[in-house]
Amino acid sequence: MKIEKRKFQNVKLIGSGRELSDHELVRCEFNGCDLAQFDDPSFGLVVRGVKAERISLKRSFVDGVRFEDVVVEGLATSSLMHLNGCVFRRVVLRGRIGDIMTTPPNFSLPEEMQAALVAGIEAFYADVDAETDWALDISEAEFEDASLYYVPGHLVRRDPETQFLLHRERLAGVDVRALPDFAKIAVRRFESTPFDSIVAVAPRRADFFAEALADFELLRELGVAD
């Protein structure tokens, strides 16, 4: 189903056990919309087979969603877009992309539920074969800003010129406190993720692109990043 130039206001889809699939969204706007589930570690709230082009998000939230076989080409965000406790398989971000961050499950949840969801996330990615499959493809994305530390870095297809694969074990012997700001922030993300590799992005559309790129190049020189 193709949906074009629609504005969705305060639409809430809450709870697991449902699937949104086989849609094409073109020039649609979502304002105050929520897509979320908070209690299913198997991630039964699924977005699958969706293509989205030139989408705008304002004051909208996403929690605990499984995205599979999704292509997003052009995404505008009015502020930082948190993807809380979401999982991804064969998801492509391409073109001009706003400010996004993949984060742990919602911090307001009870600790036992947060732990169950984290275990579900780890189990989901353990089932993704890096030789034949992948989580995210950001190789053709131009970000306003991006922090993707809650996706295993080895499962991210990337542009090696501006998107760096960081390895936890290579930090041994590195004085993190002495690193410049963007490098320091990037490696400290390992404190908040269960994964041993993450991707750090120097966002092409940001005013600080050159500074971030230089910092991540330093991590490459130190052997922390590929």
β-pair partners for 75: 55, 97
Is-above-0.85 flag for pTM? yes
Residues contacting 85, CB < 8 A, separation 6+: 63, 64, 103, 104, 105, 106, 117, 118, 121, 150
- Tens digits of residue pLDDT in 32-82: 999 999 999 999 999 999 999 999 999 999 999 999 999 999 999 999 999
Q: How many residues are there in the chain?
A: 226
DSSP 208: T
- Tens digits of residue pLDDT in 176-208: 999 999 999 999 999 999 999 999 999 999 999
The strand ranges marked E within the chain are 2-4, 7-9, 12-14, 18-21, 24-26, 29-31, 34-36, 45-48, 51-58, 61-63, 66-77, 81-84, 87-103, 136-147, 156-157, 163-167, 197-201
